[in-house]
Structure 1
Amino acid sequence: MHIRKAVSADAEELCSLLNEIILAGGTTALETPLTAAEFADWFIDGEFPLVCHVAEHDRSPAGFQSLSLYGDPPIGHADIATFARVNPKIPGVGRALFPATLAAAGELGLEFINATIRADNVGGLAYYTKMGFEPYDRLIQVPLLDGTPVDRVKKRFRVDAKRRPASPA
């Protein structure tokens, strides 16, 4: 798997990957598909994104991971978002992306990376735990667009040169 920084030209393909995940439902707080322009603004070159990495498998995007300042996090903190292609699923995309994201976080001088995960996203909760994120807060009964309440689990990773995520299984 090849990891590289995302560029504006990736927006259409990565947006398609993300929209497939959104339409499948159940794993992301995003519920409305994005346009390629919205995707670029949110994840690549808008006001809030800090960095976005793409994982390529057989010269095709397998997933992406971004750090952003959306939602005005405290100084020294950034939010992470990780998305892996649904079909065909490729194991290990998130594990492959995290070292590049962690290195970027260190270069940016971040102290913490925050992940906010839907409580019903079992795979997402397991992924962030495996990468070394620790729970620190919970948002109770955040309504989905249809009104269904779903908790959000907040986990964070301390950016520290001495500490690295668990090695791939």
Structure 2
Amino acid sequence: MLIRKAVTADAEELCSLLNEIILAGGTTALETPLTAAEFADWFIDGDFPLVCHVAEHGRSLAGFQSLSLYGDPPKGYADIATFARMKPKISGVGRALFQATLAAAEELGLEFINATIRADNVGGLAYYTRMGFEPYDRLLQVPLLDGTPVDRIKKRFKVDAKRRPSFSV
């Protein structure tokens, strides 16, 4: 598996990967599919993205992870978003992406990486816990487009090169 920075040319394939996850429902706060241009703006080269990495597996992209300043996070914070292809599922994508994202966060001088996860996203909550994120806040009953209230759990990772987690890919 190769981890590299995303480029605008990746937007169409990554957008397709993300839209599949959105349409499956239940794991992302995003509920409306994006166009490739919107994807590039939100995750690769718009005003808010700081960095976006992709995982290449064979001839396709298996996932991506981005850091952004969307939503005006506190100084020293950036938001993380992680998405991995649903089919075929490839083990280790999230771990490999996080190593690259963490290195970028250190280079950017970030103090914390924030993850805001739907409370019903069991896999996402487990992933961020495995990566070393700790809960610090909860947004209560945020409505989905259909009105269904779903809590959001906020977890953060303290960026500290001396405390860098070690996990095999």
How high is the TM-score relative to the length of structure 2? 0.98
Gap regions ≥5 residues in structure 1: none
Counterpart AA for 1:122: V
**Does 2:126 correspond to 1:126?**
yes
SS in 2 for 1:81: strand
User: What are the superposed Cα offsets for residues 51-78 of structure 1, whole Å, 9 maximum, x if unpaired?
Assistant: 0000011121000000000000011100
In structure 1, the residue matched to 2:66 is 66
CA distance in structure 2 between the partners assigned to 1:85 and 1:153 by the alignment:
23
SS in 2 for 1:123: helix
In structure 2, the residue matched to 1:104 is 104
User: What are the superposed Cα offsets for residues 74-120 of structure 1, whole Å, 9 maximum, x if unpaired?
Assistant: 11100000000011111111011001000000000100000000000
Percent identity for Structure 1 against Structure 2: 88
Per-residue deviation, 1:166: 4.6
Distance 1:166 1:148, change over 3 A: farther
Gap regions ≥5 residues in structure 2: none
CA distance in structure 2 between the partners assigned to 1:59 and 1:82 by the alignment:
20
Counterpart AA for 1:113: I
Q: Which moved more, 1:11-20 or 1:158-167?
A: 158-167
Per-residue deviation, 1:145: 0.3
In structure 2, the residue matched to 1:40 is 40
Counterpart AA for 2:26: G
In structure 1, the residue matched to 2:29 is 29
In structure 2, the residue matched to 1:82 is 82
SS in 2 for 1:162: helix
Consecutive aligned runs of 4 or more in structure 1 exceeding 3 Å deviation:
none
CA distance in structure 2 between the partners assigned to 1:90 and 1:144 by the alignment:
29
Show the 5 A alignment for 1:10-21. Answer: 10-21=10-21
Retained in 2: the 8 A contact 1:132–1:166? no
CA distance in structure 2 between the partners assigned to 1:7 and 1:107 by the alignment:
19
In structure 2, the residue matched to 1:5 is 5
CA distance in structure 2 between the partners assigned to 1:33 and 1:131 by the alignment:
27
How high is the TM-score relative to the length of structure 1? 0.98
SS in 1 for 2:99: helix
Report how many aligned residue pairs link the two structures: 169
Per-residue deviation, 1:164: 1.7
Distance 1:146 1:10, change over 3 A: same
